[in-house]
Copies of this chain bind each other. A is one copy, B any other.
């Protein structure tokens, strides 16, 4: 264990990869390893910046994060990427379009790219991603980029781990921000209108600004933002200057968090949100289990089906059976 931790701290690629596999698998060995790594990370000078990059498929997240890696390397920063695909059972391999990027960065020891899938449990995706971020923090990466595939509840959960969330949209296909999943518009600290050479980009940026005026007027956002004015960037992965602008915005948000002392508060808030999500899923799973398998619940359904019991009466009986006072 001591040797393993030393190798992770020295950012030895194989040791880091094995550690992530270990924390994904969970159990007692993972707990011990994470405790050691947290100790190690706590003693480090500067906090690692965990960035979430999300948005609908086709928005150009992969190209943009690829440009971002190149830009960060030019600044001498060590970068780790976690590509999260909740719909994929694969993990640990280079699924997604990562092989291309893997090849480009394969010989650079300061870039680490890892795909994470899901095992379909109801514990949520945020925990394995958070644990992987702990490993990468101990391995002295400066920036951890969490990139999601698709937009679902799981992707939103993952974003609870990020210090800064960038939402990437594009006017391609005549998309409007109204068609973006509602949750995604709520979580952005930075918005990017990518493929901004396409028609409709300016309009989309304006729509986002309008949405932000409403959003950030609401109490829970006013508290969270505390002086951060959410930038809306126009980028084009083709033009290659997008990564520059994006990094400036992302880094600006992180400086805002550290200078206002909000970083720990925000990380805590992410954990509390994750707690709520997992709890909701736990309860929904239990409701589903009784609905399908509990004899009492089956009887209630049969009596409602044949109109021998009212809907309201059946709901009362089932709730009584499920919930503690």
CB of A312 within 8 Å of the partner chain = yes
Complex: how many Å from CA A275 to CA B271? 33
The B-contacting residues of A in range 87-139, CB under 8 angstroms, are: 123, 126-127
Contact call A291/B315, Cβ cutoff below 8 A: no
Asked if B305 and A276 sit within 8 Å, CB to CB, the answer is no
CB of B272 within 8 A of CB of A304, answer: yes
Q: How far is the CB of A324 from chain B (nearest CB, A)?
A: 5
Majority DSSP secondary structure for residues of A touching B: helix
Q: Does A248 contact B (CB under 8 A)?
A: no
A3 at the interface (CB under 8 A from B): no
Interface residues of A in 262-310 (CB under 8 A from B): 265, 267-269, 271-272, 274-276, 278-280, 282-284, 286-287, 291, 300-301, 304-307
Across-interface contacts of A322 in B (CB, < 8 A): 283, 323-324
B268 touches A311 (CB 8 A): no
Neighbour of A275 across the interface among B179, B278, B314, CB < 8 A: B314
Q: Which B residues are CB-close (under 8 A) to A300? A: 275
Contacts of A279 in B (CB 8 A): 287, 315, 318-319
B-contact bits for A228-255, CB 8 A (1 contact / 0 none): 0000000000000000000000000000
Interface membership of A321, Cβ < 8 A: yes
Enumerate chain B residues within 8 angstroms of A304, measured Cβ to Cβ. Answer: 268, 271-272, 275
Please report the C-alpha to C-alpha distance between residue A274 and residue B314 in the assembled complex, in whole angstroms. Answer: 11
A192-235 Cβ-contact flags toward B at 8 Å (1 or 0) = 00000000000000000000000000000000000000000000
21 A-B Cβ contacts within 8 A? A123-B312, A126-B311, A265-B305, A268-B304, A268-B305, A271-B304, A272-B301, A272-B304, A272-B305, A275-B301, A275-B311, A275-B314, A275-B315, A276-B291, A278-B311, A280-B284, A280-B287, A282-B319, A283-B322, A286-B319, A324-B324
Question: Residues of A at under 8 Å CB distance from B?
Answer: 123, 126-127, 174, 179, 265, 267-269, 271-272, 274-276, 278-280, 282-284, 286-287, 291, 300-301, 304-307, 311-312, 314-315, 318-319, 321-324
